[in-house]
Chains A and B, each alone.
Chain A
């Protein structure tokens, strides 16, 4: 862990799930359905600065939330999984708030600071913002 954040996202310890980093890098939170390709290995993503590091955490949490949701759609009574889902969703909110205040807003509805910023922030397809 390169940087410390106000929000500790590492308090989630899923039993039958990959950790947040590993699941994100693999593109799959569920070890039992993971299928690699040949000898290709998913690479660990190194952030270049504190902003990228926090954005990566947000991407990881968002990814995990979505992947758990696909499972929960079919297993709505899996309480342990729903508990994990709730922790992840809560942490996602915290991290997003922190990012909005420190760096830039990610959703239009959060553009409520001193001046209009939706134009001036980088767009994700330009590749410079992770």
Chain B
């Protein structure tokens, strides 16, 4: 089961609104390399892991990713919450306003809604882990693109943190992959 903890994995405290940045960052929630896909990917794949270490690793990383979703959504929320309709129009977010107001909805930065087809779960530990390693690498690059676009330290710091978590997860998945390969799975 899951329990709620009233804190974020890393502080998000953005004082300056930035509508364009919000439009970009939402992809880290609902885009193809986003945290929602990551959380659901590992959550689903954990049932197919053959050993205790694999079940633990996938379950633990899935849980962590659910926390990252809350971080990303907090960033988007803080970036848009005080925006006027005029400002949203100017930033090209009028279509976003039409669909979601100032609410949070999982899409990529082009407004394409999240879909479960962004991840797979094929029930084979090596195949699943190979996908996980690729997913972490792509998410890392997505965060690098977001960091390139960001100008506010309050935005850059949480993005750096999230990027580094992708690096750590990639390394752990790789380790498990190599172990399973040796074990003959």
Which residues on the B side are within 8 Å of A43 (C-beta)? 153, 157
Within 8 A of B (CB), among A82-114: 104-109
Most B C-beta atoms less than 10 A away, residue of A26, A37, A43, A129: A37
B167 touching A107 by the CB < 8 A rule?
Answer: no
Asked whether B9 is an interface residue with its Cβ less than 8 Å from the other chain, the reply is yes
Within 8 A of B (CB), among A107-130: 107-109, 121, 123-130
B175 touching A42 by the CB < 8 A rule?
Answer: no
Which residues on the A side are within 8 Å of B171 (C-beta)? 33
Q: List 22 A-B contacts (CB under 8 A).
A: A27-B10, A27-B163, A27-B165, A30-B168, A37-B147, A42-B160, A43-B157, A45-B11, A55-B7, A59-B9, A59-B11, A62-B5, A63-B9, A69-B56, A70-B57, A70-B168, A73-B57, A76-B53, A109-B3, A124-B12, A125-B77, A127-B12
Question: What would 8 more interface pairs be, CB under 8 Å, given A27-B161, A104-B6?
Answer: A27-B162, A27-B164, A37-B163, A40-B160, A66-B60, A70-B168, A73-B53, A127-B14
A107 touching B5 by the CB < 8 A rule?
Answer: yes
The residues of B with any CB-CB pair to A shorter than 8 Å are: 3-14, 53, 56-57, 60-61, 64, 70, 73-74, 77-78, 144, 147, 153, 156-157, 160-165, 167-169, 171-172, 175-176, 179
CA distance A128 to B14 in the complex (A): 9
Compute the total of residue contacts between A and B using a CB distance below 8 Å: 112
Asked whether A1 is an interface residue with its Cβ less than 8 Å from the other chain, the reply is no
Contacts A66-B64, A70-B172, A124-B7 given: A27-B53 contact, CB under 8 Å? no
Which residues on the A side are within 8 Å of B179 (C-beta)? 74
CB distance from B104 to the nearest CB of A (A): 9
The residues of A with any CB-CB pair to B shorter than 8 Å are: 24-28, 30, 33-35, 37, 40, 42-43, 45, 55-56, 58-59, 62-63, 66-67, 69-71, 73-74, 76, 104-109, 121, 123-130
B73 touching A74 by the CB < 8 A rule?
Answer: no
Enumerate the 3 nearest inter-chain pairs by beta-carbon distance, A residue then B residue, closest first.
Answer: A27-B164, A125-B74, A27-B161
Which residues on the A side are within 8 Å of B10 (C-beta)? 24, 27, 59, 63
B60 touching A28 by the CB < 8 A rule?
Answer: no
